[in-house]
Amino acid sequence: MVLKDFCERIVAAKCSSKSSTEAVDSTQVPASSKAGSSDIHSRNSGWAAAVRRVISGGSMRRFQERVLGSSRTDVSSSDGDIWLLGVCHKISPHESTGDVDTRNVFAEFEQDFFSKVLITYRKGFDAIEDSKYTSDVNWGCMLRSSQMLVAQALIFHKLGRSWRKTTDKPVDKEYIDILQLFGDSEAAAFSIHNLLQAGKGYGLAVGSWVGPYAMCRTWEVLARNQREKNNQGEKPLPMAIYVVSGDEDGERGGAPVVCIDDASKHCSEFSKGLVAWTPLLLLVPLVLGLDKVNLRYIPLLQSTFKFPQSLGILGGKPGASTYIIGVQSDKAFYLDPHDVKPVVNITGDAQEPNTSSYHCNISRHMPLDSIDPSLAIGFYCRDKDDFDDFCSRAIKLAEESNGAPLFTVAQSRSLSIQVTSSSVSGDNTMFDDDSLGTNLDNDAGTNEDDWQFL
């Protein structure tokens, strides 16, 4: 009874709101939950109704988070500076004075966090293909997380990293145009409908969960399909996509290699040979352990958020994807797609379209070492100089990895070379496709979780 009373108080507090995001769809509540009995005490009926509201408004995982407190929202200046997609919010006390203007710094961080595009579960959209699914509740979190990452790449591309969502100024047309791409219908270029269609070759199916590698490849296919469909018009995704992994099947072991020649090839194909370089979206799917992330990779993951090109991480708890956009010490700040919201039609016709459901003012965080080891890191490079800067930073990060980098950089895939300094362990050697199998099989003393299998 103690646990029940505790849960009842929590649920009552969380479920008192009758907002649209927590609206109850009685058709999704099990019949056994709906059934009532005249001899049940009214308090127990209220408890059951509260539980139904939580379950129907999100998922049982959301209910568990609220009761068990696995998601934190507090931000402390004692934990160091916050890095949010390449921008540092210096909330640590100054060494000289020991003071920090917490009001202004926290306001800047909150405004930056609030400006990131949030895309969550939706309900009430047109059925996907010939299925009866009109909602992606409980299975579409990875698709939604990936939509957030790509939407953020478009924000950086069209509006710049310093862009902020404001409430006292007219909305930017480019911002509305970006949101329209992620609508919940086949007419929207990057809708969940079109993602599922493009990802069939990688196992995407309505009602089924998908992993980061298949999700990255799906975006590659969808972007190519959209370019072919809009051959003469403006491209919905005005950048090339380069999925950085061992091979097309994702079976190559060892740290994936960012090949400069491959990046150039993707840019050339995107522009049909008209220019040597184009904006580039890099997606790096990784598996950094077995049941949990190998701790040797945590500092490296933290450092990627310091890259000006950072687009964050597709990751989260096992089976529950989130979009991780920042770090503070050992904490990972994320946008959570698991809230259920009704479909909203964003159009450019309305003078002030309602975009409130695409943003969140609650900065949730979780321990970075608790995330699923299967994840994908994103980067956006605006031009060749930006890509060169990314490569320089990636090389330096590999040099600091003690022989276990997240990924490495090479000029060409066909060359088995070391890109880091001579002080780096020989374990950092990059392999060509022909020699890989022999080297992996005969590499005595290598622990299984020291390698990344994609």
In the set 136, 184, 336, 372, the catalytic residue is 336
Question: Would residue 141 show up in a list of annotated catalytic residues for this protein?
Answer: yes
Question: Would residue 336 show up in a list of annotated catalytic residues for this protein?
Answer: yes
Question: Would residue 259 show up in a list of annotated catalytic residues for this protein?
Answer: no
| Terminal-to-terminal C-alpha distance of the chain | 47
For the CA atoms of the chain, what is the radius of gyration?
23
Among 218, 213, 181, 220, smallest CA distance to 196 is for: 218
In the set 338, 372, 381, 391, the catalytic residue is 338
In the set 15, 89, 136, 141, the catalytic residue is 141
Instruction: Show which residues are catalytic.
Output: 141, 336, 338
